[in-house]
Structure 1
Amino acid sequence: MSETNKVEKKQKEAKQPKANNNNTASKSKTELLGAGVKKEEDFSEWYTNVITRSEMIDYYDISGCYILRPWAFSIWEKIQSFFDSEIKKLGVQNAYFPLLVSEKALNTEKDHISGFSPEVAWVTRSGDSNLAEPVAIRPTSETVMYPSYAKWIRSHRDLPLKLNQWVNVVRWEFKRPVPFLRTREFLWQEGHTAFSSKEEADVEVYQILELYKRVYEELLAVPMVKGMKTENEKFAGGLYTTTIEGFIPTNGRGIQAATSHCLGQNFSKMFNIEYENAEGGKSLAWQNSWGLTTRTIGVMVMVHGDDKGLVLPPKIAPIQVVIIPLTFKDVDSTPVREAAQKIAKQLKEQGIAVHVDDRDNYNPGFKFNHWELKGVPIRMEIGPKDLAKDAVVICRRDNGEKKFDIPISTITTTVTQTLDDIQAALLQKAVNERNNKIKTIKEWAEFVPTLNTNSLVLAPWCNVPACEDAIKKTSGEESKNVAEEEKGFCLTGAAKSLCIPFVDQEHIKIPQITEETKCFKCGAHAQKYTLFGRSY
């Protein structure tokens, strides 16, 4: 059995806690409830337990492929709905291109596809017969879409062409798979656009990047650093790549959250996307591509989750409020149940996603733990005594603050305000945790020791690819005894550039480069302050 399959077999053993289990009497309460392990003690097992016990994913019999259960897929639908609406305001239209790509098309742009080559999955047989020409399953769609662009774009009147598709792609990862973060099949959107000028293409690159930032910060309450990828880290075959970078506080890792690329005219040359310009001459199109994946969900889980399970920001929570009627033996529960349904109806009319858990076969304690594990932002309780006071009791999931009573007469206003407060509090907490772990240094001697504090490093750098290679190599060598591999995630101790941050960052101040500023690694004159870190 391969190492990957051994890990996945262990991961599959993570089970949803049962309400009644006679074999669990000897187990500690911690093992039965919530994540079953503390986030700070075993991050890998914590993550696996949370996403399985909360019913976000289930395992499949093909390694690296996972089932997105409704609790996770509904979050993806909310992300889709927001982003799809915003790109349509920019004139982008949705389309669909085939899953399969010919070998000839895939090899048209060799520099681009070389980065994907080890991960390309090939279809070589049909039934009992070998295919005359193998076909690949798309790892990305430039080579699928651009032959059609070459047919469709004949005149400057055909531009701009702005298409997006919501699809799956397959990249046959050989690294240890991690649900949401690194999987062999994943869902994403990929936008592919063409313009008559670089200026138009540049504008869109940054418009899309800002939308990606909004997805993370406005919906998922996860702060991002906007920046430019270095020459070493940019999209293969592209002109330049912009990125948003996240941070996982528990292990100090950076994570690429989404990218928006200007492809320049490289692909239009390869695929002959040429058109007649306004002057009657021939010109090549300027192109962009940009993508956002279901990695978004994994990043959110890692940033906000706690020892009890998920903590969901209200804007993407499938259920924002769960109402639990408290019923008792020998007491007529009808008034309490009716009041719960009436409140639910009132909240739904205000656009709040609410669920009444009136199951008789589970006690209130089990229900509390169940919905805490699933991360529902607000739990509302109503019993006979509460009903007598015309009030309910609510509890916030994000901070676990003491329960408090609210009058039924103000319930809509209070719940709406509380949901807004939770959304804002989650973002602010994540911003504070991130900012406390971005350290500015100026000397190489500070680099690895700073990384070892689970931090990212902001340092002056010369912007030379060879120097970046040396940073990665040397930091890896110096880190061998520190972070050679983190259990379950197959991460090394080497650090790389995450991005060259834009100067106009929210929440972060980027230092100025002066004539005296030296590269922290090689000592040459520094060009940019650059964000480095160990990463996923």
Structure 2
Amino acid sequence: MATDGVDSKIDALKLTEEQPIASTGTSEQKVEGAQPTGKPGKKEKEAKDQKSASKSKGDKPAKAAKQQQQPKAKAAAQPELIGITVKKNEDLSEWYQQTIIKGDLLEFTDIPGCYIYQPGSYRIWEFIQEFFNKRIRKMGVKNCYFPLFISEANLQREKDHIEGFAAEVAWVTEGGKNKLEKRLAVRPTSETAMYSFYSKKIRSHRDLPLKMNQWNNVVRWEFKHPMPFIRSREFLWQEGHTAHLTEKEAGVEVRQILDHYAAIYEELLAVPVVKGVKTVNEQFPGAHYTTTVEGFIPAVGRGIQAGTSHCLGQHFAKMFDIRVEDPHQQVEEGKPRDRLYVWQNSWGFTTRSIGLMILIHGDDKGLVIPPRVADVQVVIVPVGVTAKTTDVDRAKLYDEVKGISDKLEAADVRVECDMREGYSPGYKFNDWEMKGVPLRLEFGPKDSANGVVTTSRRDQDGKSTLPITDLAKSIPELLETIQADMLRKASEEYASHRKIIRKWEDFVPSLNAKNVVLVQHCATGACEDEIKKDSSGTVEGQEVDVRAPSMGAKSLCIPDEQPEEVKAGTRCINPKCDREAKMWVMFGRSY
């Protein structure tokens, strides 16, 4: 199933105009170029040696040492810095790598493109699972699991489908010490693995609809420049596969799932998306049609496919012979009814969503996590404790902090108290800000005397106070306000970067200004290809920014919400095209 995991048609990934992110097995420095072999370079070795030396000295607590990784090997002689050492708008590649590592979301391995999901990021994925499972179960979808390996014969049964994945398939050729007689594919998607089962399972119209979903991992091995969460060789996702009697029933489900995907982004991750339909050029191979939610990363001005729901039509049913008798056909007694091919859907959503959330909300201090998916929603930091504080006063303050924590836990707030000794409040503030905790409560002797806590929102600057007596009500309300404000801010920014363009001479300059564009288009594949080509280099009458990515703009989707009606006689935006425009299509440079 083609989803937001990998698009093999996209050019080699670059996060910024000049600098790709490439995993080479370390987390200590920015890689200055791609090393697809995964062998450590000189800078990596220096960083590892430095890390080992730091551990042997024992002059820092273990947790602090982990956070004090040096992102750039060239700075090895300088003191290690705990926080994010670069600004997001100056070096997005380095900022992103530091943010996910120092924020304890992810760790690199010695296999490029394969990562360790730490509890902080995996908890976000669990929130997504819980949210989505609740909704699809109401639709009658059952979770299941199919094997990781697919036989080559089964994979090759649908050649048009697998062609889109051919360069990305990883193969197993040996088992233990023995060569396999027939190699096995590590699943890039599960259509061919599951539909042989469907052809056995579905014997009658009474077996329909059949709705199954699995949460699993898949492997796609084509590209050379992995980017954590956004593009990786192994990633986590869910893939749903359903079978229906009619096209109408299948179509209703396609849209239900797309709405659920949009809800994950907007209700959980505070990330705005545009719902629409893929053009024929960009739809899933073998699909009847593909619907999509499209996100946007303002820092680089690129669109990003965020989740797809496909109506596969009867294509796979014919390939795997999934048929039932027509229950509505009137026939003479004793004569068989016609056998109908079922209508199938597939839909998928991946951990790419976490990367999109990070890139949209993160700032120069690190992560900014929306409250609904934050493992820790509130951290309480005791303040005002000095060398002159007596043991009795310290114990009293800590007991009050514990009491506040208990009150919040009883109100279903995920809270943590930072009682670490040997760390200043300022260190703790920076540490929790880097991890993106939505709300910090500071509590000291003065707060205790006044019966309040001091609040500091991660998404905004400034502090305020709240009465302790009201916390069970006011803190959950404040967390919901933070969630809403984060979505509002991101939505306004996305809207400001969707430009309506009516003249071709404005097309490329708008892309160079980090926008996606809405244009009136003929919706033909040849014209799309021409636009992609002409927006990737110098075109007569247009200046292409030399710092912009070399890739041209592709169609992102046909938005469900059209800006206006396309009037009869309106020409396609492409000056080389002599066709009439049929609809508004959103184009952009894309991951």
Q: TM-score, normalised by structure 2?
A: 0.85
Task: Give the drift of 1:11.
Answer: 5.2
- The whole-number CA distance in structure 2 between the counterparts of 1:407 and 1:60 is 47
Other structure's SS at 1:242 match: strand
Cα displacement string for residues 118-164 of structure 1 (whole angstroms, at most 9, x for unaligned residues)? 00000000122210000000000000000000000010000000000
Task: Give the drift of 1:478.
Answer: 2.9
Task: Give the drift of 1:189.
Answer: 0.3
Aligned residue in 2 for 1:520: 573
- Output aligned runs, 1:293-312, within 5 Å: 293-312=350-369
- Counterpart of 1:8 (choices 24, 42, 46) is 24
- Counterpart of 2:381 (choices 305, 317, 324) is 324
Aligned residue in 1 for 2:586: 531
Aligned residue in 2 for 1:412: 472
Aligned-partner residue type, residue 122 of structure 1 = W
Aligned-partner residue type, residue 423 of structure 2 = Y
- The whole-number CA distance in structure 2 between the counterparts of 1:19 and 1:114 is 44
- Counterpart of 1:107 (choices 151, 156, 167) is 156
| 8 Å Cα contact 1:12/1:59 also seen in 2 | no
Aligned-partner residue type, residue 342 of structure 2 = A
| 8 Å Cα contact 1:17/1:53 also seen in 2 | no
| 8 Å Cα contact 1:483/1:492 also seen in 2 | no
Other structure's SS at 1:131 match: strand
Aligned residue in 2 for 1:355: 416
- Output aligned runs, 1:186-201, within 5 Å: 186-201=235-250
Between 1:3-12 and 1:416-425, the stretch displaced more is 3-12
The percentage of aligned residue pairs carrying the same residue is 50
Task: Give the drift of 1:516.
Answer: 3.2
Cα displacement string for residues 13-53 of structure 1 (whole angstroms, at most 9, x for unaligned residues)? 2699749989999969xx83532111111111111110011
Task: Give the drift of 1:237.
Answer: 0.5
State yes or no: 1:497 paired with 2:555.
yes
Task: Give the drift of 1:384.
Answer: 1.1
- The whole-number CA distance in structure 2 between the counterparts of 1:100 and 1:135 is 6
Cα displacement string for residues 221-246 of structure 1 (whole angstroms, at most 9, x for unaligned residues)? 01010000000100000100000000
- The whole-number CA distance in structure 1 between the counterparts of 2:422 and 2:310 is 53
Aligned residue in 1 for 2:526: 466
Aligned-partner residue type, residue 71 of structure 1 = G
Cα 1:136–1:12 change in 2 (3 A) is farther
Cα displacement string for residues 324-347 of structure 1 (whole angstroms, at most 9, x for unaligned residues)? 112222313111111111111111
Aligned residue in 1 for 2:114: 65
| 8 Å Cα contact 1:195/1:201 also seen in 2 | yes
Aligned residue in 1 for 2:277: 228
Cα 1:484–1:215 change in 2 (3 A) is farther
- Output aligned runs, 1:31-50, within 5 Å: 32-50=81-99
- Counterpart of 1:82 (choices 96, 106, 131) is 131
Cα displacement string for residues 303-354 of structure 1 (whole angstroms, at most 9, x for unaligned residues)? 0000000011111011110001122223131111111111111111111110
| 8 Å Cα contact 1:243/1:259 also seen in 2 | yes
Other structure's SS at 2:89 match: coil
| 8 Å Cα contact 2:408/2:472 also seen in 1 | yes
Cα 1:190–1:345 change in 2 (3 A) is same
Aligned-partner residue type, residue 13 of structure 1 = Q
Cα displacement string for residues 35-78 of structure 1 (whole angstroms, at most 9, x for unaligned residues)? 21111111111111100110100001111100000000000000
- Counterpart of 2:438 (choices 368, 372, 377) is 377
Aligned residue in 1 for 2:564: 511
- The whole-number CA distance in structure 2 between the counterparts of 1:175 and 1:472 is 22
Cα 1:153–1:319 change in 2 (3 A) is same
State yes or no: 1:248 paired with 2:297.
yes
Other structure's SS at 2:408 match: helix
- The whole-number CA distance in structure 2 between the counterparts of 1:64 and 1:386 is 48
Task: Give the drift of 1:175.
Answer: 3.2
Aligned-partner residue type, residue 534 of structure 1 = R
| 8 Å Cα contact 2:25/2:112 also seen in 1 | no
Aligned residue in 2 for 1:215: 264
Aligned residue in 2 for 1:135: 184
Other structure's SS at 1:340 match: helix
Cα displacement string for residues 378-410 of structure 1 (whole angstroms, at most 9, x for unaligned residues)? 00010111111111111000012x211211011
Structure 1: gaps (5+ residues): 504-508
Aligned residue in 2 for 1:157: 206
Cα 1:35–1:512 change in 2 (3 A) is farther
- The whole-number CA distance in structure 2 between the counterparts of 1:26 and 1:121 is 41
Task: Give the drift of 1:174.
Answer: 1.8
| 8 Å Cα contact 2:25/2:111 also seen in 1 | no
Count of paired positions? 522
State yes or no: 1:335 paired with 2:396.
yes
Cα 1:8–1:340 change in 2 (3 A) is same
| 8 Å Cα contact 2:301/2:515 also seen in 1 | yes
Between 1:308-317 and 1:4-13, the stretch displaced more is 4-13
Cα 1:451–1:129 change in 2 (3 A) is same
- The whole-number CA distance in structure 2 between the counterparts of 1:5 and 1:246 is 20
Task: Give the drift of 1:254.
Answer: 0.2
Structure 2: gaps (5+ residues): 1-18, 31-50, 52-62, 330-336
- Output aligned runs, 1:247-266, within 5 Å: 247-266=296-315
Other structure's SS at 1:36 match: coil
Task: Give the drift of 1:281.
Answer: 2.2
- The whole-number CA distance in structure 2 between the counterparts of 1:529 and 1:11 is 43
- The whole-number CA distance in structure 2 between the counterparts of 1:344 and 1:106 is 54
Other structure's SS at 1:8 match: coil
Cα 1:144–1:32 change in 2 (3 A) is same
| 8 Å Cα contact 2:456/2:463 also seen in 1 | yes
Cα 1:307–1:96 change in 2 (3 A) is same
Task: Give the drift of 1:186.
Answer: 0.3
- The whole-number CA distance in structure 1 between the counterparts of 2:502 and 2:64 is 49
- The whole-number CA distance in structure 2 between the counterparts of 1:21 and 1:252 is 31
Aligned-partner residue type, residue 219 of structure 1 = L
| 8 Å Cα contact 1:261/1:288 also seen in 2 | yes
- The whole-number CA distance in structure 2 between the counterparts of 1:463 and 1:442 is 16
| 8 Å Cα contact 1:513/1:526 also seen in 2 | yes
Aligned-partner residue type, residue 195 of structure 1 = H
- The whole-number CA distance in structure 2 between the counterparts of 1:425 and 1:21 is 32
